[in-house]
Structures are given as structure tokens and as C-alpha cells.
Amino acid sequence: MKLGIAGYGRIVELLHYPMIRKLKEVELSAVFDVTLERRELAEKRGLQVYGDYDEFLENDFELLLIAAPPTYHYELAIKALKHGKHLIIEKPVTVNAAQAREIADLALRLNRVVTVFQNRRFDADFEFVKSVLNAGTLGNLKFIERSHHMPDLGIGFGIKSYHPEWRGKEKYGGGILLDWGVHLADQLVELRLGQVQEITSNMHRLSHETGDVEDYCHAVLKLDTGIVVMIDLNAASCASKPSWIIGGDRATLLIHENEAMLEQKGEAPKRVPIPPNSRFAGDRIYTSFIQEVAGRGTCAVTISEAVESMELLDGIKKFALKEEVMLYG
């Protein structure tokens, strides 16, 4: 199978390109990018390069990786589906649920496969969380606190030849909710703990260097199972924080960096080391994608799951933008 890439940015060079090269059934054939510098780099890799997307889509590759900034995912995906391509889309699938549903509906009508690169679903700490929950170690779940802190939005990560600050710009789909919140939303969708009944949330811009998007978000979700889920995202924090605190009626699980701690009343805490995350754990997304295209399996991350994640992010953003504030004092 031949694969094309739309958007040859840093994430492709560091993450996708090494994984694609290891896929025996896949031949990387063509690249579309709007910047001359990135096209020249891809050409040095021996790839056909295009600056015109419509011309690019006329190629005979069956598979397409979309790795442009999030704002462009919808338009690129719709055009590619109409050209008969199967898609793997970098997260977030789009910038809102309505666009994600359109992609899902069109893919269904055209019998095309679409998956989303939600690689944090395969992080070691999340795999450990799932194993603990499946074992019933914590008892009946009461709450989950899921946090991610980092010192900035990674604005300097962008390539210099194409708006390196795009992660701090709303028009490109920047902000911590779409960048990291989508990972947390995907993990919650994967856990299947219940339907969200209530959402309260707030978003702020803590750093003037962020641009015009939020770098802080806090949300509380009440599920129909009685579980309360708290999401804490902060891209202005130099301090680490436990990524997971999960409480049940028998025990509480805390995960901080590469260590888990299980605490029960009247007992000494039990410490369990967790292996570091593998940068290439997301290769399961590629292999399962290829298997579904070939009719031999199903995607590890489905487009319907991506729609659910975007619906959750839409709900968080909608409440936060209400700007209902109670003045005190």
C-alpha cells in the first residue's frame, strides 16, 4: 500500500516517519506541504513533493496521513475522502465535533477507513490504570483526577518556515484543550465509565506569551454512574503533578511520573514502578489501520471514538465560554 503525507512538520519527522518506515506493507510515496523548505527536506528523503493539494491527491496512494495544524484537518480530510483515500489523522481529528461527525459520515458513505493518532491511549501509565480498574482493586469508583502540567504550550516546537507559534493561535487550532485535553478526553472515552451528565469548567490564559488561546483549563464531569471526573490542564506550570488520582471505596491509586502508589486505610502504601512511555507505542494505530483497510481487523482508535472525544471537548469549552462569574466581596 502506498501512503502520502499532508503536512510535513516536526511531528512527522520525529514520530510518524520512523514508524512508517518500519511498516512492511507500506510504501511512503508523496508529500504535500505549503512551505518550500519542508518540500525540499521531503525531496531529500526521495519522496515526490507537491505544493498543490489537489494535484497531490491525484496520486495513486491509498493511505493518507494528515498532519497539518488542526484547523486544516477538516478540509483536507473531506477532499481526500472524495478522492478515495483512507485516512490517519493527527490529533485532534478536527477543531469541533460537528466537523468530526461530517468526516465520520462521509467515510461511512464512501466505505473508507478513518483513524486518529491518539497515541497517548497506549502510554504506560494509562495501560496500568486500565489493569487496576479491570482487576477491581479500588472497589466501586468514586472519583478520578486527571492532570497534565507543563511549562508552556510548546510554541517553540513548530518549524521556523511555517508559523512556529501556531500552537498559541486560535485560527490554527491552538490551545491546551485541543493539544492535550484531547488526549485526556480520549482516555476517558476508552475507559467507558459512564455517560457525562453535567459539565462545569473554566479556561484562562495565564501567560502573555501564549498568544490568543487558553493555556489553563479545569473541568469537572459528573457521570450517570455517580463517578466524578476532574480534568486539570496547565501549560504555565514548572512543577510536576500526579497525572492520575483515582479513588474507590476500597483504595486510592496515585500515579506520579514513573511510579504508582496504592493506598488503603490502615495499610502501608504499596509502590509499583511503571515503565517509561515509549515514543513509538502508537505504532499500534498504524498496524490496526492497515489491517482494517486490508479487511483483516479493526482500527485501535475509531473515528466514532474521536467524535465522542470532540463532543466532550466542545462541552467543556461551551461551559467555560459562558463566563458566568460570581463576584465575591
Domain parsing of the chain, residue ranges: 2-120+281-302, 124-274
Buried b vs exposed e over 156-194: b needs ≥16 C-beta within 10 Å?
Answer: eebbebbbeebbbbeebbbbbbbbbbbbbbbbbbbbebb
Cβ neighbours of residue 102 under 8 Å, at least 6 residues apart? 74, 78
Structure confidence at residue 226 (pLDDT): 97
Query: How confident is residue 326, by pLDDT bands cut at 50, 70 and 90?
Result: low
Is residue 328 over pLDDT 80?
no
- Give the span between the Cα atoms of 246 and 146, in whole angstroms: 8
C-alpha triplet 188, 194, 199: angle, nearest 5°: 75
Structure confidence at residue 273 (pLDDT): 95
Is residue 325 over pLDDT 80?
no
> How many other C-beta atoms lie within 10 A of the C-beta of residue 55?
11
- Give the span between the Cα atoms of 329 and 316, in whole angstroms: 28
Structure confidence at residue 324 (pLDDT): 63
Buried b vs exposed e over 8-22: b needs ≥16 C-beta within 10 Å?
Answer: bbbbbeebbbebbee
Is residue 323 over pLDDT 70?
no
CB 27 within 8 A of CB 292: no
Rounded mean pLDDT of 124-140? 97
Q: For 90-119, what is each residue's pLDDT tens digit?
A: 999 999 999 999 999 999 999 999 999 999
Structure confidence at residue 202 (pLDDT): 95
The CATH code belonging to domain 124-274 is: 3.30.360.10
Cβ neighbours of residue 43 under 8 Å, at least 6 residues apart? 49
What are residue 142's phi and psi, to 5 degrees? -115, -45
Structure confidence at residue 165 (pLDDT): 84
Which residues, in sequence order, are bridge partners of residue 234?
Answer: 149, 216
Find cell 491525484 and name the residue.
58
Structure confidence at residue 163 (pLDDT): 79
Q: Report whether CATH 1.10.10.10 matches the domain 2-120+281-302.
A: no
Structure confidence at residue 157 (pLDDT): 76
Pull the grid cell for residue 43: 525531496
Count of residues making up the chain:
329
Find cell 489523522 and name the residue.
89
- According to DSSP, the β-strands at 141-149 and 196-204 are unpaired
Q: For 8-32, what is each residue's pLDDT tens digit?
A: 999 999 999 999 999 999 999 999 9
Which residues, in sequence order, are bridge partners of residue 199?
Answer: 221
Which residues, in sequence order, are bridge partners of residue 261?
Answer: 254, 271
pTM confidence score? 0.95
Q: For 37-73, what is each residue's pLDDT tens digit?
A: 999 999 998 999 999 999 999 999 999 999 999 999 9
* Burial status of residue 89 (CB atoms within 10 A of its CB: 0-12, 13-18, 19 or more): buried
H-type helices in 120-272, by residue range? 124-135, 176, 182-191
Structure confidence at residue 265 (pLDDT): 86
Mean pLDDT of the chain, nearest integer: 94
Which runs of E-coded beta strand occur in 196-307? 196-204, 216-223, 228-234, 244-248, 252-256, 259-263, 270-273
3-state helix, strand and coil shares in percent for the chain, rounded to the nearest 5: 40, 25, 40
DSSP conformation class of 95: S
Which residues, in sequence order, are bridge partners of residue 247?
Answer: 143, 252
Structure confidence at residue 154 (pLDDT): 84
